Structure 1
Amino acid sequence: MPKTTTYTVKVMFGDCDPAGIVFFPNFSKWMDASSLDFFMQCGIPPWRELQKTTGIIGTPLLEIHTRFIRPATYGDTLEIHTHIESWAAKTFVQKHVVMKDGQVLCEGRETRAFVVHPEDEPDRIKSIAIPDFIKVACS
């Protein structure tokens, strides 16, 4: 069983469209927040701290797939269950399951990479091999 964390979101009125249901990009915003929260719950320092010790500046999004099943509205409390579905040499796939009261509302998969600023091109980013200490802490 993969290591799974839970990130809680309270849906506010401003998160919803005129019909009173959560505007779909908010799910992506919450999954992005849950992605970072996953690493922090696994004991990985915030990106600004990790940059000082390893040069890693974060895990930008390369690809996203989302499947919507049920709506949510303001006043709802959502739980986003996040884990690493797979590791590759330089990328990984995180799966997010958004739930309310035990029912799945939305599932998302994000492909991400750990990146640094190359010394010879500090305005660019490049992916790196995923460090073993991160795989160990998050598996």
Structure 2
Amino acid sequence: MNQVHRFSLTVEFGDCDPAQIVWFPNFFRWFDAGSRRYFIACGVPTWQETEASLGIIGTPLVDTKARFVKPASYGDEIAVESTVSEWRGKSFVMSHRIFNAAGELLCECEEVRVFAERVAGDRHRIRAVPAPESIKALCAQR
């Protein structure tokens, strides 16, 4: 079982479309923030540090799907909950759920991500590598 990390935010006017509901790409922005905040909360160093020590430059997204249940609007207090729900060979599944202040589910998302390193000799190419055991251990529920 892995740790679960939760962070809260207030929906801003600029997060909404003309109907004053959250424009759907903003949910994906918050899912992405939840992914990095999850690793920070687990004690994983910055990606600059992991690149220096492990060669890991980050966790790029390779697939995603979301289900939108209820809308959110300007001024709403919401919470983003994130966890690694599955470790795979060279990928992992990051699960996110967003709730309103009443605890109602607004949306949920599954992302498939990989740990990536640069390809030697070509700084602009990356490749997936297995998740380092040291990072998996930090994410394990304590």
TM-score above 0.5: yes
Report TM bin, short chain.
Answer: over 0.9
Question: Cα offset for 1:47?
Answer: 0.7
- In the alignment, is residue 100 of structure 1 matched against residue 120 of structure 2? no
Aligned partner of 1:42 in structure 2 is 42
Unaligned runs of 5+ in 2: none
In structure 2, what is the equivalent of residue 62 of structure 1? Answer: 62
Deviations 1:59-118 (A, max 9, x none): 000000100000001111111111111000110001001001211000000000000102
Which residue of structure 1 lines up, in the alignment, with residue 28 of structure 2?
28
Output one character per residue of 1:40-74: Cα deviation in whole Å (capped at 9) or x when no partner: 00000111121111111100000001000000011
Stretches of structure 1 lacking an aligned partner (at least 5 in a row): none
Match for residue 118 of structure 1? Answer: 119
RMSD after superposition:
0.9
Q: How many residues align?
A: 139
2: CA distance between counterparts of 1:113 and 1:2?
17
Give yes or no for the alignment of 1:71 onto 2:74.
Answer: no
CA distance in 1, matches of 2:76, 2:52: 38
For 2:124 and 2:29, locate their aligned partners in 1 and report how far apart those are by CA, in whole Å. Answer: 25
Supply the distance in 1 between the matched residues of 2:135 and 2:2 (Cα, whole angstroms).
14
What amino acid is the match of 2:130? A
Inter-partner Cα distance in structure 2 for 1:124 and 1:65: 25
TM-score w.r.t. the length of structure 2 is: 0.94
State the distance in 2 between where 1:9 and 1:64 align. 22
What's the CA shift for 1:121?
2.6
**Quick check: 1:40–1:46 contact (8 Å CA) kept in 2?**
yes
C-alpha distance in structure 2 between counterparts of 1:34 and 1:10, whole Å: 15
Task: Name the amino acid aligned to 1:43.
Answer: G
